Structure 1
Amino acid sequence: MEFLMSEANEDKTSGDFREMGLRLAQEVISFLKKKMDRVSRSESIMEPYLRYLHTYVSISGPHLGYLYSSNSLFNSGMWLLKKLKGTRCIHQLMFTDDPNLQNTFLYKLCERKTLENFRHIVLLSSPQDGYVPYHSARIELCHAASMDHSKKGRLFLQMLNNCLDQLRAPTSEHRLFLRCDVNFDTSAYGRNLNTIIGRAAHIEFLESDVFAKFIMWSFRELFC
């Protein structure tokens, strides 16, 4: 197997997710064909190729944002970054990019039919990862949300159900949906700030490829 690593968003990870998605889509299309028409939206760029999408693998991705994050230290850090830098993607992850939650980027994204374009979906998560809420990486309900009967709780359930409905959408072929937990041995790091706030496990996802190789060789049909 051969893999290509995206370079479109290197050193550009603090902007708007829409812009990052556009750059990624342009990079993918430029790989598939030498010339492309100039367009302004990643959705229209990818439209002709949606039927070829095969397997979507998410490595601890915050699909439902940072609502109901239980990591108080990390939440404080995110709040501080939002105040000091005000980067667009942090506002989007924390649902503060619009006063109306229903107009926020992630809420709108969950309404779009995106996941159902893939034949197979694999979600990798780790309970040790304190950077991404466990339920957000797994696209599932958390206890805090189930006990929240406010408008925020209802809108979160709508987001969750919109995502799950895509996974249950009818398809002409069998769709495989996997939630895979990864448990890292972080004892070698000792007790320090990285392990306390959950950064060590999150970095392991980026630096270690053992778990990815295991999934690829255990479920080869997902990648062929």
Structure 2
Amino acid sequence: LFSKEEMKQLRLPGFLYSEVPELASTVPYFSLEEDESCEEGIHLIVCVHGLDGNSADLRLVKTYLELGLPGARIDFLMSERNQNDTFADFESMTDRLLDEIVQYIQIYNLTVSKISFVGHSLGNLIVRSVLSRPRFKCYLSRLHTFLSLSGPHLGTLYNSSALLWILKKSGLQFFKNVVLVGSLQDRYVPYHSARIEMCKTALKDKQTGPVYAEMIENLLLPVLQSKDCNLVRYDVIHALPNTANSLIGRAAHIAVLDSEIFLEKFFLVAGLKFFQ
């Protein structure tokens, strides 16, 4: 109670999960079995890791989605095609992920009614790049939720022209829900980049500031103009120990992957509703 009162005195925007009037899902864990006779298609959730990551990085996301939505007709593709070479060029990584998705649907003969993406860090940019490919056009109408965990959607203040081309690409407007999760404690991915918003440095910089503004407009204007797309931002404050990883910002960057406390509370309080 003392810690809770201390938090309230800080007057931070947001809420405490313990005071939320209702949860995103009230269904108990393990309560239902999937109805095999249901004719409704599969909700395919594609999990895409980041730089130097692997297919197991988003395992806890998969776990808490499965626990929170028992009986739901969901299937997970834990992307692994890029894990052996995450430093390749974006074109190659985009092709690999797209091939992986198409082949997964074809090999398992899935009838897909919804497609959602969960990306971490660099994986979010690869997801966005896939959306712009002609071969993915037939799936755009089935897009449901894009959950971005610490995604560098605006990169850094200085980028190569090739990366800028990808950062300027739109496509988020095809989703029903765009959920952006970022943290000020994360020093690997700038807070404003994860939230897709302007920063003070860019506002003061007459050379790169207009580029930032153009990227933000290209990304958000179609989303805001779409009546069917819901944009939500979540700021996360992690309880981190005083270690070197915390000091350099790495701890917060990977906490969205390996913090069971954060992931369970996030999905139970808010996240599950975007995947129902």
Q: TM-score, normalised by structure 2?
A: 0.60
* C-alpha displacement of 1:135: 0.6
Please point out which of 9, 19, 24 is paired with 2:97.
Answer: 24
What amino acid is aligned across from residue 124 of structure 1 in structure 2?
Answer: V
Corresponding residue number in structure 1 for 2:172:
115
- Match of 1:33, SS state, is helix
Corresponding residue number in structure 1 for 2:84:
11
- Match of 1:3, SS state, is strand
Please point out which of 228, 240, 243 is paired with 1:186.
Answer: 240
Cα deviations by residue, 1:73-129 (Å, 9 ceiling, x for unpaired): xxxxxxxxxxxxxxxxxxxxx413xxxxxxx23432244331111111001111111
Give the direction of change, closer, same or farther, for the CA distance of 1:213–1:44 in structure 2 (3 Å limit).
Answer: farther
* C-alpha displacement of 1:200: 1.4
Give the direction of change, closer, same or farther, for the CA distance of 1:196–1:111 in structure 2 (3 Å limit).
Answer: closer
Alignment of 1:41-190 (within 5 A): 42=130, 43-67=133-157, 94-96=158-160, 104-148=161-205, 150-171=206-227, 173=228, 175-187=229-241, 190=242
Cα deviations by residue, 1:149-179 (Å, 9 ceiling, x for unpaired): x2321111111111111221324x3x22111
Q: Which runs of 5+ in 2 are unaligned?
A: 1-65, 67-74, 109-128
- Match of 2:78, SS state, is coil
* C-alpha displacement of 1:32: 1.4
Worse-matched range after superposition: 118-127 or 158-167: 158-167
Partners in 1 of 2:260 and 2:79 — Cα distance? 16
Please point out which of 229, 242, 256 is paired with 1:205.
Answer: 256
Is 2:152–2:193's contact at 8 Å kept on the other side of the alignment?
A: yes
Partners in 2 of 1:21 and 1:211 — Cα distance? 30
Cα deviations by residue, 1:13-70 (Å, 9 ceiling, x for unpaired): 11112221221111111121139xxxxx951221111110100011101000011xxx
Partners in 2 of 1:20 and 1:45 — Cα distance? 15
Partners in 2 of 1:151 and 1:14 — Cα distance? 28
Q: Which runs of 5+ in 1 are unaligned?
A: 36-40, 68-93, 97-103
- Match of 1:180, SS state, is strand
Give the direction of change, closer, same or farther, for the CA distance of 1:215–1:51 in structure 2 (3 Å limit).
Answer: farther
What amino acid is aligned across from residue 164 of structure 2 in structure 1?
Answer: Y
Larger helix share, 1 or 2: 1
Is 1:125–1:180's contact at 8 Å kept on the other side of the alignment?
A: yes
- Match of 2:208, SS state, is helix
Give the direction of change, closer, same or farther, for the CA distance of 1:117–1:178 in structure 2 (3 Å limit).
Answer: same
Corresponding residue number in structure 2 for 1:85:
none
Larger strand share, 1 or 2: 2
* C-alpha displacement of 1:205: 2.1
Is 1:60–1:124's contact at 8 Å kept on the other side of the alignment?
A: yes
Partners in 2 of 1:121 and 1:191 — Cα distance? 33
What amino acid is aligned across from residue 26 of structure 1 in structure 2?
Answer: D
Partners in 1 of 2:231 and 2:264 — Cα distance? 18
Is 1:216–1:223's contact at 8 Å kept on the other side of the alignment?
A: no
